[in-house]
Amino acid sequence: MDPSLLKRVKNLLFISLETVAAAPSYEQLDGNLQRLWDKKAGNFPPEEIGKLSPRQLFTARANLYAEFGKIVSIGAGYFLPNEAGELSLRAKAFIGEDEKWLLEEFKNLLETKFDARSLVLCAHNGKEFHYPYLCRRMLINGVNIPKALQIVGKKPWEILHLDTMELWRFGDRRTSISLELLAALFQIPSDNLATDGTAVNQAYYVHKDWNRIRQHSLTEISVLAQLYLKINNLPPLAEANITLTE
């Protein structure tokens, strides 16, 4: 493996989040939060929500907002050389019902396994979703935000956050593209990637399908890593060099 390639990617950490609504249903949401959700739902553009009521919208979209959702899985993956000297990917999913534990485990990973001064985080739509969502949920759960996620007082070039959606935009702020579509365009295997808020809520609250949640999180990490290589015109990983663990 080219030493310059390893140097370029060795401090890169790919992350993914699986989020659900804060309560199993609108009816089980705290009364004050119901009122505030109604207010928020009333501001959604009509063309986006159709005829959905605030109750239906809560199930479909509350997971997208840190104030009305919570994290049930955090995926993390990084590059490293294998025994044959080839570039490989190792990914892990932190998963469970105790959100504070998940956040603390992820924080511990950032602070003990990587150098915060050189660690680069990478996620798809990370700057508008993953990074702020993690920080907000950490504050709500009383978890100190690790240095790798802190941006207050930093200059733009000091913030080591990559976003594959932003990379794909090439400055075009109108463009919004899913990771699933980019995987299709670059022919990256992406089984278990397609999902929506309602499906994740059902997997968590109704079926307790931890395996589905885990597989989605790990698939996203794998696709994200391959996409990063594609965008940078680097050789893709061989499937045998991708290790996904619980």
Quote the pLDDT of residue 124.
Answer: 96
Quote the pLDDT of residue 134.
Answer: 98
Residue 7 has pLDDT above 60, yes or no: yes
Highest mean predicted confidence (pLDDT) among 96-100, 154-158, 215-219: 96-100
Question: Tokens standing for 114?
Answer: 């990587």
Q: What is the DSSP letter of 101?
A: H
What is the per-residue pLDDT across 136-167, written as a single tens digit (0 to 9) for each?
Answer: 999 999 999 999 999 998 898 889 999 999 99
CATH number of 3-245: 3.30.420.10
Range in 2-16, 33-47, 97-111 the model is least confident about:
2-16
Buried b (16+ CB within 10 A) or exposed e, 27-49: eebeeebbeebeebbeeeeeeee
Average pLDDT over residues 160-187: 91
